[in-house]
Amino acid sequence: MRIATWNINGIKARLELLVTWLSQEKPDIVVLQEIKSVDEGFPRAEIEALGYNVETHGQKSWNGVAILSLLPFDEVTRGLPGDDSDEQARLIEGVFSVESGAIRVCGIYLPNGNPVESEKFPYKLAWMRRLEAYVAERLLLEEPFILLGDFNLIPAPIDAHDPKAWWGDALYRPESLERFRTLSNMGMTDALRATTSEEAYTFWDFQAGAWRRNAGIRIDHLMLSPQAADRLDDVRVHKDVRGWEKPSDHVPVEGQFSF
């Protein structure tokens, strides 16, 4: 089974790109971030025509997440609990039946947190603490749980073309890295690093010729419960998509599993 994440950076601006990629690759489940669309405005008909079931948690102009699945949904959860005042659409989860039982796929768009001196950085850290509580509950279920999406976190120096240039940014500073390590210490496995120690970027800024210079960073991740990690076969970064016409600044990242 192929399960992927992609920060699409505007579903309406990238719909043709997405449809082309889905038609070529035919992944089983895809989680999207930054759809930048309310639920009723999401172009589901074009995606459903490819055989996908579509569930969204949208928001006007900003944020927004979605799950596209060739499998029917058994359950859908929208929003990260723990703060009733938080109206930002950043989490959606689906449960699916497979031959071996059920799998739980949770797509997230973790806050960027910049500028660090603003209220955005405390919000990022608080959101991550709420996410840790959410993950702790999911791990108690002892089932395959895949947490994937745009984490807005650079885990290690190897995950940036120029780590010194990024140090101190909300994506790469001690407070952020501590929260990411907490997820690992809870028993969640970084899927890509479980399969390779080589350089692999998932984001190239639109500015300063970042794509041409391969000045990328890895901020799109798949984190796996022990039951999901046991079924992991490989991880593929679809780097070529960044060179397509009118691309997102992120590329799809796909986990391949024996479910």
Residues 6+ apart with CB under 8 A from 239: 201, 251
**Is 39 annotated among the ligand-binding residues?**
no
Helices and strands (H, E) in the chain, number of each type: 8, 12
**Is 84 annotated among the ligand-binding residues?**
no
**Active-site residue, from 52, 134, 150, 238:** 150
Q: How many CB atoms lie within 10 A of CB 16?
A: 12
How far apart (Å, rounded) are the C-alpha atoms in residues 238 and 165?
A: 25
**Is 150 annotated among the ligand-binding residues?**
yes
**Active-site residue, from 109, 134, 172, 201:** 109
**Is 34 annotated among the ligand-binding residues?**
yes
Query: Which 8-state DSSP code applies to residue 95?
Result: E
How far apart (Å, rounded) are the C-alpha atoms in residues 154 and 221?
A: 10
How far apart (Å, rounded) are the C-alpha atoms in residues 82 and 62?
A: 21
Question: Pairing state of beta strands 220-224 and 65-69?
Answer: unpaired
Burial of 58 from C-beta contacts in 10 A (0-12 / 13-18 / 19+): buried
**Is 132 annotated among the ligand-binding residues?**
no
Question: Pairing state of beta strands 75-78 and 91-98?
Answer: antiparallel
Residues 6+ apart with CB under 8 A from 106: 31, 77, 91, 92, 93, 94, 138, 145, 146, 147, 148
Catalytic annotation present for 74: no
**Is 240 annotated among the ligand-binding residues?**
no
Query: Which 8-state DSSP code applies to residue 252?
Result: -
Catalytic annotation present for 109: yes
Q: How far is CA 56 from the centre of its chain?
A: 14
Task: Cite the annotated binding site by residue number.
Answer: 7, 34, 150, 152, 249-250
Which residues carry a binding-site annotation for Mg(2+)? 7, 34, 150, 152, 249-250
Q: What residues are annotated to the active site?
A: 109, 150, 250
